[in-house]
Amino acid sequence: MTTHIKTIRDARAWLLEQVKDVSISQFNQIPPGFTNNICWNMGHLVAVQQAICYKNAGLPLSISDDFWKKFRSGSKPDVIFGECDIIQIKQLLITTLDQLETDYINRVFANYTAWSTRIGTKITSIDDGLEFLAFHERLHSGTITALKRLVSKNDLDNA
């Protein structure tokens, strides 16, 4: 396993522990000043992993087109996510990473296409992509932590 995949795995395990007691309502709340919610951020982690690793290598995604459209960069939550959606996202956070590790070991990313991130970082290989993905995971983990604090506070304020 690469250091970056381990970093992502550790971040996702930590994240899943942080949200284990979050209610369906809290997963869906969009606090003032935010454009998304906890559920969207978690689904976004899966969608971006698929894009960075598989789409850029010309490989099929292991998520549905509907899932991709809901959580890709630039999207916003436009539905209320139910319990089944949340369970699916939690499972995909693990299963897609397991598949990524297997595929990395089997060297399926040989035809990786170079690209640049919005912040100007040049990504030329799967290893660069994994490094950027680890950074992206940390960014959204921070956002999810902030959202959790706000939605928990909102619930206390409304009690």
Domain spans, the chain: 3-16+24-157
Say how far apart CA 97 and CA 102 lie, in whole Å: 9
Q: Would you place residue 6 in the very low, low, confident or very high pLDDT band (cuts 50, 70, 90)?
A: very high
Q: Mean pLDDT of all residues in the chain? A: 94
| Cβ atoms of residues 54 and 61 within 8 Å | yes
Higher per-residue confidence, 158 vs 23: 23
DSSP E strands in the chain: the ranges are: 115-116, 122-123
Model pTM? 0.93
Confidence (pLDDT) at 152: 86
Structure tokens at 76: 């916003």
Confidence (pLDDT) at 159: 46
User: What is the percentage of the chain residues whose pLDDT exceeds 70?
Assistant: 95
* All residues at 6 or more sequence positions from 68 whose CB lies less than 8 Å from its CB, including other chains: 47, 50, 51, 61
CATH of 3-16+24-157, one of 1.20.120, 3.30.420, 2.60.40, 3.40.960: 1.20.120
The pLDDT of residue 99 is above 70: yes
Confidence (pLDDT) at 31: 94
Confidence (pLDDT) at 15: 96
Confidence (pLDDT) at 2: 81
Sign of CA dihedral 146, 141, 22, 45: positive
Say how far apart CA 66 and CA 139 lie, in whole Å: 24
Say how far apart CA 22 and CA 52 lie, in whole Å: 28
Would you give the distance in Å from CA 79 to the centre of its chain? 18
Q: What is the mean pLDDT of residues 25-39?
A: 95
